Chain A
């Protein structure tokens, strides 16, 4: 049935660094209530001392070929670092929980969920966002063009994540057939349900990507 947490949902396997993995390793926060934002009765847990006090950490991220030096709260996700601190807002937040794929970026060419990746752990890797795909002269990446040619979006909100995921899918060698594309693109939800057009776009672009 639905494969909501299939590729690229399990970012851990791909990058080794995620917010989930980081927190369960016990580094930053002691006891967070399990339910976000619900006002429970009782006494809140003592605030755990962050390792860096309350100061910011210096973080350097290489985004679309440019180094970005930032002072970040150590808890900042790569997604929020991109959107709120660097100002590349093409990467989208759809759940912040690794369930929708809207925040997919490429790290060293592999697709990764940026909401599940701490910014500090993304240092030293090449991060590609949707803004980094077209050539400087404006020529679109074959996958971008294929999405236009096949009307592979409606609202366009999932689209940056779909396009980066699709490039990852082709590069992984998982775009062999329609069925394989469907399976390996099922971690990217599209509520407008452009799915058949997304499959057509991947089929179109994969040939051109090989030729390029």
Chain B
């Protein structure tokens, strides 16, 4: 087997190919903007040229004169849309078509609808606006920005974790560091553009849109339009990358649906790459101040972490990563505080491991700095502070294999060969540095519903409104049915991404495998039980009178230990059944019972990894080698190794791919990615894929993912921890540490670029 398809180790499923693989290599795979519709009109957005103020007037004349233009929708003729509710599946509380106020640069102003895409674009170029402009605040330190405590001002960050008296512990700590870090604005930039296609049949609305939460979109758009959600269907079978950006619904969806109703014609609006930077969400820039105190033998006696995050004027978005960082090591005392800084910007949102990426970067970078101050090996420093119980309330982890991950990754990486002296390793013109970091991600789980149907031929069909964003959810859900039902994966079909199917949670927080597979497992076991009961109670079948507990399923048959068997088709005949179907609503233990009903109405909730008497997290360790050219300062990453433990691995192939993708995201975050902001105009200046640099093929060389076997029966029924967001958590800090090891220079502000190293 090749490396892309690792053989399963203990407690891992088979590395089967993705169910939709063939459709993805033949072009048959349908994404939301690919559905053919009769009489389709094309919509193009026009956005504001200022970041703060209001629209004085719009001049539509030249735009209307473009042949083929059907209508231009603006605040003048869009009436009666309700403002979205922020934090309930919506990206912001502002529906820009409801008034003249401009909250951020490139805010939606108009939707031009024309017979062709070319005419709509042409007209959009010709629309003019005059503005009352006020001076915008761009980011941290901008005049007019407003700083607030996250506690008391945000929905999700309810407390700043603390333990003991951190100031007193710092005052007496023998070894101390006091450091500041920052992470930049980043945009998800999935390769699939954002789009909405809306089509009405009488009062029934169908929306085709890439979405990580179709039930949220369905209910959200119904709410804004004031229609019955039962009349809205959202279709999103395959999503061309999301990373959080397609989780919350943006105001565009309701506007396109409104316009399609007004024109009585289906409309497709594909958002340009540039406009995607401001009409959807992003990862806000953050700042961190960490003070840490330790004993000479390396025990952390004090950890103080203050974080600042940018948000918008109308919405108090926060990630508040101290909820995780305060649980990672056996600290003696903890003090934290998170603040939000309001500026004239679009509202930020979830982006792959939203809290952990910035906050763990700061913590793990500080860990490396402390290890250096202590003259300790960075791995050993983590070992000294490793714990099976979180320090704040003393709750145990259901499982934690952090040091096993470190040991396996260190071995594969050859950490022993590292000379700890800074600047000591070199290969010709290249300075070599090596660094490592911890990765952690909570195991979240939410309520999910599935329909599983078995035919007499042994075909299984699973329907669930889960979201195939590239994680492989269809494949692992299929495996979860194929295993107990003893069927080949060829017999399995999994349909996702449609509100005609039973609801599943938002595809965020790495919950999908746990949530959906738990429900599929229950459904499959019920089908098995029904078949076994029928087999043993039938009057004269080959298995009549046996104990159901002694039966199994294999190759389309019910089999007993002694080899006696009955074919599914025969059993179905005896039962008088055409199909056997189970509809399962699975609410994880410990979640309020109403959370399932809420899911149907578009509210997704999780039992978070940090909640409960025992806490649930996946761990990993990442090692990076950097090479820095001694003359040009070019930074390369020839090698990266990550070892990760995530409970039961349903499919080593898809799990490895997700972790690999995450590690490469980490390379991007460490060395490349940043959305640059013009401080005067509060405008993103590099709003395209040439100027916003993501990792390309040539940026990645040797990459190794080690799947560390881990068994955890307490984490959830399926025994799985999500791995989609774990991979990118540790990489940037490991890169930072490696750059220091190579050069002796601490670059604390991401991304690290060659101009940071000019005077090394």
A residues adjacent to B (C-beta < 8 A): 1-6, 32-33, 35-45, 47, 54, 73, 75-76, 80, 83-84, 87-97, 99-100, 102, 129-131, 133-134, 140, 144-145, 147-160, 163, 181-183, 185-200, 204
Contact = CB atoms under 8 A, between A and B. Distances in A.
A192 B240 CA distance: 9
Contact of B128 (A39, A130, A191): A39
A148 B21 contact: yes
Interface string B627-655: 00000001100000000000000000110
Interface residues of B, number: 101
A75 B116 CA distance: 11
B24 A153 contact: yes
B694 A149 contact: no
Contact of B240 (A75, A80, A156, A188): A156
Interface string B111-143: 000001111011011111111000000000000
Nearest to A94: B191
A200 B472 CA distance: 20
B274 A36 contact: yes
B713 interface: no
B125 A32 contact: yes
B29 A156 contact: yes
Contact of A95 (B47, B273, B697): B273
Contacts of A129: 27
Given A39-B127, A47-B126, A157 B700 contact: no
A182 B3 CA distance: 17
Given A2-B694, A37-B274, A144-B26, A155 B127 contact: no
A35 B662 CA distance: 33
B20 interface: yes
Contact of A94 (B122, B192, B696): B192
B563 interface: no
The 7 A-B residue pairs whose C-beta atoms are closest, nearest first, are A90-B27, A157-B240, A155-B470, A154-B470, A156-B24, A193-B664, A130-B27
A99 B26 contact: no
Interface stretch (B59-67, B297-305, B496-504): B59-67
A19 to B, nearest CB: 11
B262 to A, nearest CB: 21
Nearest to A204: B2
Interface of B: 2-5, 17-18, 20-31, 33-34, 36, 44-49, 58-59, 62-63, 65-68, 106, 109-110, 116-119, 121-122, 124-131, 188-193, 238-243, 270, 272-275, 469-472, 634-635, 653-654, 656-658, 660-662, 664-665, 671-672, 688-690, 693-701, 703, 754
B129 A194 contact: no
A211 to B, nearest CB: 19
A97 B660 CA distance: 28
B192 A38 contact: no
A193 B671 CA distance: 15
13 contacts: A37-B121, A38-B46, A40-B129, A89-B36, A97-B688, A99-B689, A131-B26, A148-B25, A151-B18, A154-B654, A182-B700, A189-B191, A192-B241
B191 A151 contact: no
B628 to A, nearest CB: 12
Contacts of A92: 31, 191-192, 240
Given A76-B118, A151-B4, A151-B656, 17 more contacts: A4-B693, A37-B46, A37-B272, A40-B129, A41-B130, A92-B31, A92-B191, A95-B193, A99-B688, A130-B26, A140-B26, A144-B25, A145-B25, A148-B22, A155-B238, A183-B697, A195-B696
A93 B270 contact: yes
A154 B27 contact: no
A90 B508 CA distance: 27
Contact of A191 (B122, B189, B471): B189
B192 A154 contact: no
Given A2-B695, A182-B698, A73 B48 contact: no
A84 B33 CA distance: 10
B191 A190 contact: yes
Contacts of A89: 27, 30-31, 33-34, 36
Contacts of A4: 689-690, 693, 696
A47 B471 contact: no
Nearest to B27: A90
A155 B241 contact: yes
Contact of B690 (A32, A97, A192, A199): A97
Contacts of A140: 22, 25-26
Nearest to A150: B4
Nearest to A100: B689
Nearest to A129: B27
A36 B18 CA distance: 38
Nearest to B17: A148
A173 B398 CA distance: 53
Contacts of A154: 241, 470-472, 654, 657-658, 661
Given A156-B240, A191-B189, A197 B26 contact: no
Contact of A38 (B106, B470, B671): B106
Given A93-B270, A183-B698, A155 B240 contact: yes
B67 A54 contact: yes
Contacts of A149: 2, 4-5, 17
Contacts of A191: 188-191, 241, 243, 694
Nearest to A80: B117
A90 B29 CA distance: 7
B346 to A, nearest CB: 14
Contact of A33 (B2, B63, B116, B125): B125
Contacts of B4: 149-152, 196-197, 200
B654 A97 contact: no
Nearest to A132: B27
A38 B29 contact: no
A187 B191 CA distance: 13
Contacts of B471: 154
B700 A196 contact: yes
Contact of A37 (B17, B44, B58, B118): B44
Contact of A185 (B45, B129, B697): B697
A199 B698 CA distance: 10
A130 B274 CA distance: 27
A159 B24 contact: yes
